[in-house]
């Protein structure tokens, strides 16, 4: 991989040290061009059948690429608008009874906590919280689901390999928001039943893209949340119409061709550079940043082999602003210092 050549694909890097891919990645110029091209087509020729054929082709390409990233089959990957939406679709699609237990890890993101809390309020589900490193030990006889981050958003800690031991007994939902496009993913090796991830962060796609992988064994147990036109195998069948028998049953409604075009183009920039090289460079640079911050006297949070680096600041707002003025884009986390 030629890092300088790759950097040249992302205009924001001309002027800024852009270190905020954990929120939204930098946009490559090919992505903007793909959106413009589709927009011009639609503007000139309207959005008739041809537009929908193009959109469907782009979505198939997006699904195939996401599946490849996850080490999965395209038929098992739903196209969502975000990590959070994938999490919601799993949590709302499973069957719950009062007293069922969900085990989550400490420091989870609101994208997981909010939907879990909704189950508590609606069904009387019980939540147990454990340290990510020891989450397997928290599983008990009433545990119906374990849900946690693959990479923790607060400090870049990676979920322990021991999680795969859960496979078979209790389904595991992994939140891959800080993993997809940042570190290698192999859903089978991770032993999870569900994997939700975004397109807009480390994959550098547009906001409003994401993926949800559902283990084929679990697909019959996840009821599609409001299957609408594109989720139905034969929508013209009216009330008799049933959802697709694969992950398309969980696709978000009203996905646009423009967002797929941008997602595919952004993916291909990194794909062409080679994922192993991208992962290696990103994790190496993050580790180097962590090391240099520590050398400079900052309290750097213990982190895993990932792309996130966190450190403490007495006044995070002021530090973020000062760095931005110097052309270095970082974010501060709500809550901790
Ligand atoms: C660990 C984690 N989970 C979920 C989310 C929410 O992601 P999305 O905006 O794709 O729903 C984030 C976003 O920062 C995250 O870091």
d(CA 30, CA 35): 9
CB contact burial 197-229 (16+ within 10 A = b; e otherwise): bbbbbbbbbbebbbbbbbbeebbeebebeebee
Residues of the chain with pLDDT under 70: 167
Q: pLDDT for 173-185, tens place per residue?
A: 999 999 999 999 9
Backbone angle region of 46, left / alpha / beta, with phi > 0 → left and psi within -120 to 50 → alpha: left
Ligand 1 contact via 198 beta carbon (within 6 Å): yes
Ligand 1 contact via 83 beta carbon (within 6 Å): yes
- The pLDDT of residue 225: 95
CB contact burial 175-184 (16+ within 10 A = b; e otherwise): bbbbbbbbbe
d(CA 237, CA 232): 9
- The pLDDT of residue 197: 99
* Domain ranges for the chain: 3-29+274-329, 49-270
Of 71, 275, 75, 80, the residue nearest 185 (C-alpha): 71
Cα 269 to averaged position of ligand 1 atoms, centre (Å):
23
Cα 233 to averaged position of ligand 1 atoms, centre (Å):
30
Cα 20 to averaged position of ligand 1 atoms, centre (Å):
13
Ligand 1 contact via 109 beta carbon (within 6 Å): yes
> From atom 1 of ligand 1, which residue's Cα is the shortest distance away?
153
- The pLDDT of residue 30: 98
- The pLDDT of residue 167: 67
Cα 221 to averaged position of ligand 1 atoms, centre (Å):
25
Mutating to test ligand 1, I would choose from 78, 109, 333 the residue with most ligand atoms within 8 A of its C-beta, which is 109
Cα 203 to averaged position of ligand 1 atoms, centre (Å):
13
Q: pLDDT for 231-245, tens place per residue?
A: 999 999 999 999 999
> From atom 15 of ligand 1, which residue's Cα is the shortest distance away?
177
Cα 109 to averaged position of ligand 1 atoms, centre (Å):
7
CATH class of 49-270: alpha beta
- The pLDDT of residue 334: 84
């Amino acid at each position: 991989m030629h890092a300088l050549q790759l950097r040249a694909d992302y205009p924001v890097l001309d002027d800024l040290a852009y270190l905020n891919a954990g929120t939204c990645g930098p946009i490559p110029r090919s992505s903007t061009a793909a959106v413009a091209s589709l927009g011009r087509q639609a503007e000139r020729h309207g959005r008739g059948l041809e537009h929908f054929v193009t959109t469907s082709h782009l979505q198939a390409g997006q699904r195939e690429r996401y599946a490849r990233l996850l080490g999965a089959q395209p038929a098992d990957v739903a196209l969502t608008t975000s990590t959070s939406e994938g999490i919601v679709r799993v949590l709302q699609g499973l069957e719950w009874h009062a007293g069922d237990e969900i085990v989550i890890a400490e420091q989870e993101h609101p994208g997981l906590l909010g939907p879990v809390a909704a189950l508590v309020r609606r069904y009387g589900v019980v939540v147990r919280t454990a340290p990510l490193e020891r989450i397997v030990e928290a599983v008990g006889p009433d545990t119906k689901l374990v849900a946690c981050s693959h990479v923790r958003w607060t400090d870049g800690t990676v979920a322990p390999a021991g999680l795969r031991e859960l496979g078979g007994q209790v389904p595991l939902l992994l939140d891959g928001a800080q993993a997809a496009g940042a570190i290698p993913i192999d859903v089978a090796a991770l032993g999870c039943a569900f994997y939700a991830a975004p397109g807009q962060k480390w994959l550098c796609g547009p906001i409003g893209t994401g993926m949800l992988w559902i283990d084929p064994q679990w697909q019959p147990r996840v009821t599609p949340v409001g299957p609408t036109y594109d989720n139905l195998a034969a929508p013209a069948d009216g009330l008799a119409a049933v959802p697709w028998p694969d992950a398309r049953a969980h696709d978000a409604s009203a996905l646009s061709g423009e967002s797929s075009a941008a997602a595919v183009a952004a993916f291909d920039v990194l794909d062409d550079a080679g994922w192993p090289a991208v992962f290696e460079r990103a994790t190496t640079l993050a580790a180097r940043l962590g090391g240099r911050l520590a050398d400079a006297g900052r309290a750097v949070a213990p982190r895993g082999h990932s792309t996130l680096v966190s450190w403490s600041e007495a006044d995070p707002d002021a530090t973020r602003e000062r760095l931005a003025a110097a052309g270095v884009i970082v974010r501060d986390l709500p809550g901790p210092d």
